[in-house]
Amino acid sequence: MLVFLCRSSWLTLIGVLLAGVISGLSSAALVALINSTLSHSLAAELLPWLFGGLSIAVLSSGFLSHYLLNRLSAKIVCDLRVHISRLILAAPYPYLQKLGKPMLLAHLTEDISAIANASQLLPVVCINCAVVIGCMAYLSWLSWHLALILGGVIAFGVLSSSLFREWPKNAMLKAREEYDVLSNDFRALTEGIRELKLHKQRSDAFMAQSLAASAEAYRRYSFRGAVAYVLVNQWAQLLYYSVIGVILYVFPVWQAIDQKMIGGYALVFLFMMSPLSILTTSLPVFSRAKVSLQKVRQLGDQLESRVVSADEPDKPESSAHFSGLSLQGVTHSFHREKENRNFTLGPIDLAFKPGELVFLVGGNGSGKTTLAMLLIGLYRPERGFIRYNGEVVDDSNRDDYLQNFSVIFSDFYLFDELYGIANESPLITDYLQRLHLHHKVQVENGRFSSVNLSQGQRKRLALLVAYLEDRPFYVFDEWAADQDPEFKHLFYTELLPALKNRGKTVLIISHDDRYFYLADRCIKLEEGRITAIDKPAAAAKQATSH
C-alpha cells in the first residue's frame, strides 16, 4: 500500500507520515506529562501550558494527517476507476466477453473500495505506531531494564503473530475469488427474475445450487479469515496482559523498584494497549486491500496487454464518406458451450455499397449475429480481411472503422443521455412524433425525460439515437421483434427506405419474410455459410415493368 500510494503522490504521503508521527509522539508525550503530574516531578506552573500545547499538537497534526490522506485516497480511487474504465473501453470486445460483466464490476466496486478503506486507515496506523514508539522511549527513560523486557515481548508478539498470518490471508483470497462467483449469481438473479418466477423448481434449484451455495462459501471464507485475525489479536492481548502482570507482581520480587515507577509503567503500558490493538486489528483491512490491489493490477496488466491503441479524447470523427465495404475470405470460429463443439463462420465474401438495403436471414445459430459483429469490427477475422473504402481494416485503423456504424443490438443498452450527439437538432421532435413517443419522452438538456418504457418503446428510442448519430452504415438486429404490427410496418416500409434514400447502407437481421421484397439483397446463412443471395427488389421491379 505504501509503494502504491507513494507512486501516486510521494510528497503528500511524506506529509501524511510526518503529521502522523508528530500526532503519535505528542500523544505519548501527553501520557508522560500526565504521569509526571501524578508523580509531582515537574513544576506545577508549567503543567497547564504543556498540557494545552501537547493537546493542540495531537489534534492538529492528527487532523492534517487524515485530511491529506483522505484527499489523496479519494483522488487515487477516482483515477483508478477512470483508468480501468478507459482500459475496458480500449480493450478488444471478445476479451471483455471472456472476462465477463460480474468480474469487471467487482473490480470497479469491491476491489477499489477495499483499497480506499485501507488507504484511509493509514493515518491511524502511522499515529498509533508513533504512539507506541514514543511510549517505548519514555518507558526506556524510566527504566531501561523494564523497557528491554517489554520490547522483547512486543517483538515476540509481532513475530509469532506473523507466523499465523498466511491462514487468514489465504482465507481472504478465497473469499475474494468467491465474490466473483457470487456477483455472477446476483446478475443471474436480477436479469433472470422473470424466468425464475415462472418456474419454481428452477428457482429453488438456482438458489440452492448457485446463489445460496456461493453466499455460504463467501461467508465461510470471510468468517474464517476474520476469526483467524481475532485469534492473532487475542494472542497479542494475552502477551500484553502478561507483561502488566510481570511488571506489577514479578519484577518487584526480582529487583527493588520504586512504586511510582511501577505505577508509571502500568499507566503508560495500559495506554499503549489501545494503539497496539488497533495495529493488530487493522491487519484484515490491509490484507483485503493487498488481495484487491493484486486483482486490480492484474486486470490492468491484462487489459493493457490487449490494448493496441487507446482512444484519443480529442480525435476528430472519421469521415462520413462511404464508397464501399467488402469482406474477403473472412472466417471466425468459437466454441459453443451448449453443443460442446466448435462453430466456424465462413469463409465469407460479401460487398456492400452506399444506399443499399440488405436483409440477413437464417435459422437460430446460423451465425447471423457473429457475421454482424465481424462486419462492424467488434470481432476480428481469424482469416481474410475487411476493406472499407478500399483500405484494409487492421489494428491501426480499427477504432476509426468502428465509428462508421450505428447499431441496435438485440440485447441493446439505452443510455439516458445523448452522449456525444448534438441534442438541439430540430429532427428530435419530428422523430419522437413519428415514433409515437412524444407523449412519453422529451429531450431536456441532452437527457431523456424517461427511459422507463416498454421494450418496444425503448427500441424506438434507440432508433431515434441511431438516426441522430447519422453514420453511413446501419445494422439492426431483430429490431422489429418487439414492435406492434403498426410500428413494424412503419419501420420496414417508411423508416428503412428513408435511410436508403439518404444514401445509407442498412443491414437488417430479421425473420419477417413478408417484408423481404423491399430488400436489394437477401443473404441467407446456414451453419456459418452463405447458401443463397436473392435480389427481391430487382425481381419486384422487373415483375412490375412486365
Question: pLDDT tens digits, residue range 90-129?
Answer: 788 888 888 777 778 777 777 877 887 777 777 777 777 7
Q: Provide CB contacts within 8 A for 130, sequence distance 6+.
A: 20, 21, 22, 23, 24, 25, 27, 28
The answer to whether position 314 is within a domain reads no
Query: What is the predicted pLDDT for the residue at 330?
Result: 93
How far apart CA 34 and CA 43 sit, in angstroms, is 13
Residues 385, 273: one domain?
no
Task: Let me know whether 359 and 472 are in one domain.
Answer: yes
Same domain, 330 and 271: no
| Same domain assignment for residues 340 and 201 | no
Amino acid in position 115 = I
Residues of the chain with pLDDT under 50: 310-319
Structural domain ending residue among the three candidates 256, 274, 306? 306
CATH of the domain at 81: 1.20.1560.10
Residues 6+ apart with CB under 8 A from 13: 2, 5, 6, 69, 72
CB 277, CB 233: distance < 8 Å: yes
Query: Do 240 and 367 share a domain, yes or no?
Result: no
Task: Please list, residue by residue across 273-290, b when 16 or more beta carbons sit within 10 angstroms of its beta carbon and e when fewer do.
Answer: eebbebbbebbbbbbbbb
Residue 88 to residue 486: CA distance in whole angstroms:
40
DSSP 117-179: HHHHHHHHHHHHHHHHHHHHHHHHHH-HHHHHHHHHHHHHHHHHHHHTSHHHHHHHHHHHHHH
313 domain residue, yes or no: no
* Single pTM value for the model: 0.68
- Please give, one letter per residue, the 3-state secondary structure of 332-372: EEEEECCCCEEEEEEEEEEEECCCCEEEEEECCCCCHHHHH
Assign residue 511 the CATH number of its domain. 3.40.50.300
The answer as to whether 157 is a domain residue is: yes
237 plus 366 within the same structural domain: no
User: Residue 68 belongs to what domain range?
Assistant: 2-306
**Judgement on whether residues 342 and 241 belong to the same structural domain of the protein:** no
- Do 440 and 508 lie in one domain? The reply is yes
365 and 429, same domain (yes or no):
yes
Q: Are 31 and 140 in contact (CB under 8 A)?
A: no
In the chain, how many domains are there? 2
Domain-located, residue 317:
no
> Are both 356 and 390 inside the same structural domain?
yes
Final residue of a domain: which of 276, 306, 336?
306
Q: Is 420 left (phi over 0), alpha (psi -120 to 50) or beta?
A: left
Q: Which of 515, 80, 504, 137 is nearest to 321 (CA)?
A: 504
Is 312 domain-assigned?
no
| Domain termination site, one of 271, 306, 341 | 306
Are 271 and 358 members of one domain? no
Judgement on whether residues 282 and 365 belong to the same structural domain of the protein: no
Cell of 295: 486483482
In-domain check, residue 315: no
Q: Is residue 338 situated within a structural domain?
A: yes
Sign for the CA dihedral angle at 172, 178, 184, 187 comes to negative
Q: Is residue 150 part of a domain?
A: yes
